[in-house]
Structure 1
Amino acid sequence: MTQKFLLATDMIDYHHIAIQNKIQQLFTAGMNDIDKSRAAYAFVRDQVSHSFDCNAQVITAKASDVLIHQTGICHAKANLLAALLRSQVIPTGFCFQHLTLADDDSLGYCVHAYNAVYLENRWIRLDARGNKPGVEAQFSLSEPILAFANRREYDEYDWPGIYANPHQATMLMLEKAGCLQDILDNIPDTLDKTPDLLA
């Protein structure tokens, strides 16, 4: 069941030297899977800036680029967290939300990404988007404490299930984007594939 959630891919490139070096810094021999997950989550959430929060001048997608440049949007940061945890044989997937781009629906919608991590024989959901005023995601083994609560009045919702791979349309968009405005203009707002796991 979980094998596809452990694979290295073009976007989850945990064999890259930069990620291998970070693994040596983050994880020690005495840490269990929960310790490792908590440490990796805190690093990606707090030390890697969300591209829009820091007005990033570089657009990243694959995990190694996110680590090297220390920035990425939610999808890119989810790739890095997946890479760090999969390197430790901790199954990690992707979950997606339908969210507004603005505080209301005036600018349309986007697909927001966060991770699902298999710990203690169950999947927990972790959102490493990065906290800021009004956003307080946390590491939680019980109820998810995500970056954004769905607002039904704005047609915000979760797509069901867990995906083994990043959202391909968003990855293609990020690879083509030259600046933050390109992301705002072109970020996908829907999913076109079924989840690998309904959990």
Structure 2
Amino acid sequence: MSQKYLAETPILDFQSGAIQALIAERGWVYLDPVDRIGAAYDFVRNDILFGYNSDDALPASRVLADGYGQCNTKGTLLMALLRALEIPCRFHGFTIDKGLQRGVVPELVYPIAPRNIIHSWVEVLIDGQWINLEGFILDQGVLGALQETFPDRTSLCAYGAGTDCLQAPPVDWSGQSTYIQKTGINHDFGVFDSPDDFYKEHRQLSGLRGLLYRLVVRHWMNRRVARIRQGHVPTIPGGEGNLLPKQASITLKEVV
């Protein structure tokens, strides 16, 4: 196995004191490889709450300090933990349609949000096979609130979720791929050795719009996510049509 899938990078800074202390405190190094993946995955899924950081390309230690994150930043932390635990992993980059974030993005600014939003998941190597991990993005508090609000729905593409099996999405670690935003994907960038390599080529929300996001909009979004977690799920203008997943517009690249 190439060492590139285990390497530390400026973003995957798993030698940082906080990350090493977390691993030592939890005793994860004493688990077998499959259980190490599960322990790191469960931690990132539920101990790191769903929320929006100041930037996609934050180092893992900063995401851990924030205590919250979205697909890209929670993925960074998961990759750092996995590599620290000697689990080979890589980054798979995409974009998702902004409709997936409707209900989280305030309606006042939704029209000016980018149509295509950078998204990613983590791939881990187990027994010679790459497994996709995306189901860690929404913590159980947020997911449970959506399930209770829409008990009769199977498909949902809003509020940070993109799934066609809302009541039983594949989010628990069982040695198989996990997903929670997959139906919102509309472009596949392919795989990268690290998030550092991806963000050298693909960045979002620069200039004035980026400043507005960092200073104002993301805090507004995080308050909305907190209210969703408490069971206060906002109504989306247009109703039913906006809650359905978009028809798949791409075929995910086969990568080995």
TM-score range, shorter chain: 0.7 to 0.9
Deviation at 1:96, TM superposition (A): 2.3
| Greater fraction helix | 2
Q: Which runs of 5+ in 2 are unaligned?
A: 103-109, 147-155, 162-168, 220-253
2:193 to 164, 170, 174: 164
TM-score (norm 1): 0.74
Match status 1:121 vs 2:128: yes
Question: Contact 2:90–2:122 at 8 Å: present in 1 too?
Answer: yes
Separation in structure 2 between the aligned mates of residue 87 and residue 172 of structure 1, nearest angstrom: 30
* Match of residue 148 from structure 1: 181
Q: 1:101 deviation in Å?
A: 1.5
- From 204, 217, 225, the equivalent of 1:181 is 217
Distance 1:123 1:10, change over 3 A: same
| Structure number with bigger Rg | 2
1:100-153 Cα offsets, whole Å, 9 max, x none, are 1224796511121110011122111111212422544332423x23112335xx
- 51 and 170 in structure 1: CA distance in 2 versus 1, 3 angstrom threshold: farther
TM-aligned CA distance change 1:118 to 1:101, over 3 Å: same
Please say if residues 126 and 138 of structure 1, whose CA atoms lie closer than 8 Å, have aligned partners that are also in contact: no
User: In structure 2, how many angstroms separate the alpha carbons of the residues matched to 1:171 and 1:120?
Assistant: 35
Q: Work out which of the residue numbers 48, 59, 63 in structure 1 matches 2:60.
A: 63
How many pairs does the alignment contain?
A: 177
CA root-mean-square deviation: 3.2
The secondary structure found in structure 2 opposite 1:179 is helix
Deviation for aligned residue 1:180: 6.1
Alignment match, 1:26:
26
Identity, % of aligned positions: 24
Structure-2 change in CA distance of 1:12 and 1:69 (3 Å): same
Q: Is the alpha carbon distance of 1:198 and 1:43 closer, same or farther for their aligned partners in structure 2, counting shifts above 3 Å?
A: same
**CA distance 1:123–1:180, change in 2 (3 Å):** farther
CA change 1:30–1:146 in 2 (3 A) is same
Whole-angstrom distance in 2 between the partners of 1:14 and 1:171: 25
Match for 1:98: what amino acid? T
| Preserved CA contact (<8 Å) 1:117 1:123 | yes
